[in-house]
């Protein structure tokens, strides 16, 4: 079955530590996205990528970094510069078109907590 | 900047009652999408509306896109406990490939 796999499901970060969240998709989608969701809140865009080796900052990119070396993979690193990393992180993918009109498919998410 | 707001933020209904959530954009949208997120789960795409005044139905769910393409609504007839979750609308940000998600409406259905 095609889909998006995020790992790990739960992650704990120590002070001053960088952690990387994995996102892999086998839907052959060009576009991939990372969102942050805080309890009872909506989704805020961290980074997005429309094609391999290219990505753009979203609304809350500070303290995060990404790479897009392969079409299937879009890992997110939460750096020590992100002072409030505790949240639910969602990865999504979609087909790429000239205009934004494709549904996004989401992974099951990673819950990150700070120790 | 461009904003997408939803009301109400929360809604508790008795099973069998109807429910409506409203989505309002600060700018005209080329299309609008609706997603449902079950408690502890991830958002799942429900539908996309493109045309001005468009109305689409999925069983007990009715989706509407405003004539000015700046607002949308989702109406659920005779809610069931399986309707519990948070409903999000999302509209494309002008000139980009990204979507702006609304603040969401959390629905609780009391049996």
B92 within 8 A of A99, measured Cβ to Cβ = yes
Q: Which residues of A touch B44 (CB under 8 A)?
A: 106
Quote the tokens at residue B46: 């429900």
Within 13 Å of residue A69, how many CA atoms lie on the same side as its CB? Answer: 3
Q: Does A101 contact B30 at a Cβ distance shorter than 8 Å?
A: yes
Nearest to A67 by CA among A110, A22, A106: A22
Q: How many percent of chain A have pLDDT more than 70?
A: 95
pLDDT digits (tens, 9 = 90+) for A92-114: 999 976 666 789 999 999 999 98
The mean-pLDDT minimum among A17-21, B19-23, B27-31, B90-94 falls in: B90-94
- Between chain A and chain B, the number of residue pairs with CB atoms below 8 A apart is 60
β-bridge partners, B29: none
Is the confidence at residue A22, as pLDDT, over 70? Answer: yes
Query: Distances from the Cα of B15 to the Cαs of A45, B58, B107, B108, B110, in angstroms?
Result: 34, 19, 11, 9, 6
Distance separating alpha carbons of residues A3 and B93, to the nearest angstrom: 25
- Helix then strand then coil, in percent of chain B rounded to 5, is 5, 55, 40
- Residue of chain A whose Cα is closest to the Cα of B32: A101
Q: Answer whether residue A15 shows pLDDT above 90.
A: no
pLDDT category of residue A115 using cuts at 50, 70 and 90: confident
pLDDT tens per residue across span A33-51: 999 999 878 899 999 999 9
Mean pLDDT lowest for which of A80-84, A85-89, B62-66, B105-109? A80-84
Interstrand relation of B71-76 and B61-65 (parallel, antiparallel or unpaired): antiparallel
- The answer for B 81-100 residues in CB contact with A (under 8 A) is 88, 90, 92-93, 96-100
């Amino acid at each position: 079955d095609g889909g998006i796999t995020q790992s790990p499901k739960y992650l704990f970060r120590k002070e001053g530590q960088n952690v990387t969240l994995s996102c892999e998709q086998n839907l052959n989608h060009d576009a991939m996205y990372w969102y942050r969701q805080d309890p009872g809140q909506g989704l805020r865009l961290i980074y997005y990528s429309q094609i391999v080796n290219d990505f753009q900052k979203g609304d809350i990119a500070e303290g995060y970094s990404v790479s897009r070396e392969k079409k299937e993979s879009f890992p997110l690193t939460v750096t020590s510069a992100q002072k409030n990393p505790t949240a639910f992180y969602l990865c999504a993918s979609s087909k790429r078109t000239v205009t934004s009109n494709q549904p996004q498919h989401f992974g099951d998410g990673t819950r990150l907590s700070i120790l | 900047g461009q904003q997408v707001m939803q009301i109400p933020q929360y809604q508790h209904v008795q099973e069998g009652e109807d429910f409506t959530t409203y989505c309002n954009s600060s700018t005209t949208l080329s299309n609008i999408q609706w997603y449902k997120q079950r408690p502890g789960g991830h958002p799942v795409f429900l539908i996309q509306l493109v045309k001005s005044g468009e109305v689409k139905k999925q069983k007990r769910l009715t989706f509407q896109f405003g004539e000015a393409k700046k607002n949308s609504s989702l109406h659920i007839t005779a809610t069931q406990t399986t309707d519990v979750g948070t409903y999000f609308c999302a509209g494309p940000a002008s000139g980009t490939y990204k979507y702006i998600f609304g603040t969401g409406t959390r629905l609780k259905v009391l049996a």
